[in-house]
Amino acid sequence: MMNFLLGTVAGALIACIATIAAARHPEVQTRLGLRPPASTALTPAAMTRAEVPCRPQAGTAPPKVGDPEMLLSKRRFWNVAP
């Protein structure tokens, strides 16, 4: 009797996890009616990204070795392409 009870609980947990994992996929959400079909869904317009110059401007001297600006430069962090 205990094996039946433990098997039932384990089966229910597996079924719940499988259902939740399946419901996270867009195709399954469409079939379940949670999301409208792709043909009628409005897609957002593509965002245009402004070009950011990656090279330093002409006329600026390269930073010295050991300069704190080498590690903590704001330009270095914001020019990294995603």
Two tokens, residue 18: 């499988």
Distances (CA, A) of 16 to 22, 43, 73, 80: 10, 31, 49, 42
66 vs 20, higher pLDDT: 20
Scored b (16 or more CB within 10 A) or e, 7-26 reads eeeeeeeeeeeeeeeeeeee
d(CA 70, CA 82): 21
- Show me where the domains of the chain are located: 1-37
Could you tell me the pLDDT band of residue 7, with boundaries at 50, 70 and 90? very high
List, for residues 31-51, the tens digit of each pLDDT value.
878 788 776 545 556 666 677
